[in-house]
Structure 1
Amino acid sequence: MTELLRIENLTITPKAEPGRALVSQVSFALEAGKTTCIVGESGSGKSLTALAVMGLLSDQLQLGQGNIVFKGFNITHASHAELQRIRGKEIGMIFQEPMTSLNPVLTIGYQIGESLAQHLKLTGAALKARVADLLQQVGIPPERAGSYPDELSGGQRQRVMIAMSIACEPAMLIADEPTTALDVTVQAQILKLLDDLKTRMHMGMLFITHDFGVVTDIADNVVVMFRGEIVESGPVQDVLLNPRHPYTRALLDCVPDADGKKPLKPIDYAWLNAGAA
């Protein structure tokens, strides 16, 4: 398989406190046509890792050490201009909150077309046709291109975010909890849409979630993060069927079964005090 992304010993620290790691020694790889899920509770470092790949860390944060290599190119040493050429064209990203990620005063057609104009230099009728095609791909009527974000439902806004992220047919897609704010039915539709797009475009997908139910549906490989570190990783079936780390087992205990008979257990962090971190 073709390796798209390799993260080696990634560490992220606050500039004001370089000795305090928010993400520590994170390493994993992503192949073309495969989905790697990063799973963990809020604050575990999932989104920070994704933002580092995109070169979008806050000015208050810095890369402490490590490398992020995309298609053989070391992103950690890239200039702003080099990152601008990669973002949107080679790597697409669906940000965490579609309700606030879209500009409320610009039409969805304009926002989808921005990266097409920037990276592919499309204009006029060609640009309009490509925007219409992208809207159709994500299940929105092309005539809605002139709509504003507040005229759409939550599920439709998420589909617009997906259309924006795949506009230039990137080699890799980062999806940062794209279904968190959606109801179960719409969530299933979005997951199927992403999986279909990944297969058709042979993209590598880095999918961030706190939900092992989602991992079961879409992942080829899984990375489990806790407090900024990877505690377990591997092929999804190995991790789901034979979890080795207490934190992974605790997350799996939080997943309800289909008939609702399985008792749900809150995460017990006693293993931390027992030296199991």
Structure 2
Amino acid sequence: MTAEMNEARPLLQLQHVSISPKKTPTRLLVNDVSFSIAAGKTTCVVGESGSGKSLTALSVMGLLSKQLQLTSGKVIFNDGLLNDKKSAEQDLTLLDEASLRKIRGAKIAMIFQEPMTSLNPVLTVGYQIGESLTTHLGLKGDALKAKIASLLEMVGIPPSRANSYPDELSGGQRQRVMIAMSIACEPRLLIADEPTTALDVTVQAQILKLLDELKTRMNMGMLFITHDFGVVADIADNVVVMFRGEIVESGTKDEVLGNPQHPYTKALLDCVPDAEGKKPLKPIDYSWLKNSETNESGLSKGKAA
């Protein structure tokens, strides 16, 4: 396999991933989830709270809680590089904890859902940004300070705020610090778990624009978790719709938003208000669960996932 062929393969492939509690392995919280992400592209995973979006993302990073387990499936990561003997493509589910630590933050990074609680309140934001730079790149002293300053500038925060503690920053600034931490080592894949939750509309737009610019500049693949179809319309290349731990529909943004096939996707889109405020808000209609032909799990598949 040549380097060009390896680079052309998907950056990330989830193949039939299922997750269950260890005590009740037959109770699947995520069931047979498969999709891929290409370098420089954004795949949005959308669905209600409890649909399995965050669990799916945590399985990529090997960060499932000790009470949960990956029941089946593969998580294939391809960082686009080759050495003399083997491809860089590997199944992350087969790696031990020490090997995963080398990948987390360096090749795959994650922006967690709550910026208010994800930062350590007793450490400066500069120190927290610098941890991964020291761990993965070995930066110290002036080189480390310069890189921290550069990252803060990149996300629109004055470098002087490196000595600030999280409670001295606004919610939007903390979210930008989380982004700076996640991109510090220029990862190949960025996972963003509802990074604009609880932010006002103006700050949300700024964060989304920043993430899109960084994705383009660094040719990152991005897995973006959200329940907001407005966000999907802004940043997605591809969309995966999840319901009760399963994918019910997937496709390009134009396919899913412009011509949804599954009744659940249609119900979610019906909940999106229009810009003029003339469209009445509707609760999600679950009548399709009873009225449609169902598969073994009780879901009616629309477009093949």
TM-score interval, smaller chain: over 0.9
Is residue 2:211 matched to residue 1:194? yes
Matched, 1:123 2:163: no
Separation in 1 of the partners of 2:147 and 2:209?
22
- One-letter identity of the residue aligned with 2:280: P
Counterpart for residue 160 of structure 1:
177
Consecutive unaligned residues of structure 2, counting only runs of 5 or more, are 1-7, 79-88, 294-298, 300-305
Report the alpha carbon displacement of residue 257 of structure 1 after superposing the two structures with TM. Answer: 1.2
Q: Which residue of 1 aligns with 2:98?
A: 81
Distance in 1 separating the partners of 2:229 and 2:95: 34
Aligned-pair distance for 1:30?
A: 0.2
Residue 56 of structure 1 corresponds to 63
* 1:211-226 → structure 2 map (5 Å cutoff): 211-226=228-243
Q: Is the 1:34–1:203 Cα contact (8 Å) retained in structure 2?
A: yes
Name the counterpart of 2:3: none
CA contact (8 A) 1:11 1:65 kept: yes
Partners in 2 of 1:196 and 1:121 — Cα distance? 27
Query: Gaps (5+ residues) in structure 1?
Result: none
Secondary structure at the counterpart of residue 281 of structure 2: coil
Mapped to 2, the partners of 1:2 and 1:146 lie a distance apart of 42
Which letter does structure 2 place at the counterpart of 1:76?
A: T
Query: Aligned partners of 1:107 and 1:267: how far apart in 2?
Result: 43
> 1:2 deviation in Å?
4.2
Instruction: Tell whether 2:16 aligns with 1:33.
Output: no
**Number of equivalences:** 277
Aligned with 2:52 (options 37, 45, 53): 45
Instruction: Report the more deviating stretch, 4-13 or 256-265.
Output: 256-265
Q: What root-mean-square deviation, in Å, do the aligned CA atoms of Structure 1 and Structure 2 show? A: 0.7
Matching of residue 265 in structure 1 with residue 272 in structure 2: no
1:15 aligned partner, one-letter code: K
Paired AA for residue 138 in structure 2 = K
Query: Is the contact between residue 2 and residue 32 of structure 1 (CA under 8 Å) also seen in structure 2?
Result: no
Query: Which residue of 105, 114, 120 maps to 2:122?
Result: 105
Q: Following superposition, which runs of at least 4 residues in structure 1 exceed 3 angstroms of deviation?
A: none
Query: What is residue 302 of structure 2 aligned with on the other side?
Result: none
Deviations 1:65-114 (A, max 9, x none): 01000111100101111100100000010000010000000000000000
Partner of 1:250: 267
What's the % identity of the aligned pairs?
A: 73
- Report the counterpart of residue 18 of structure 1 in structure 2: 25
Matched residue of 1:145: which SS? helix
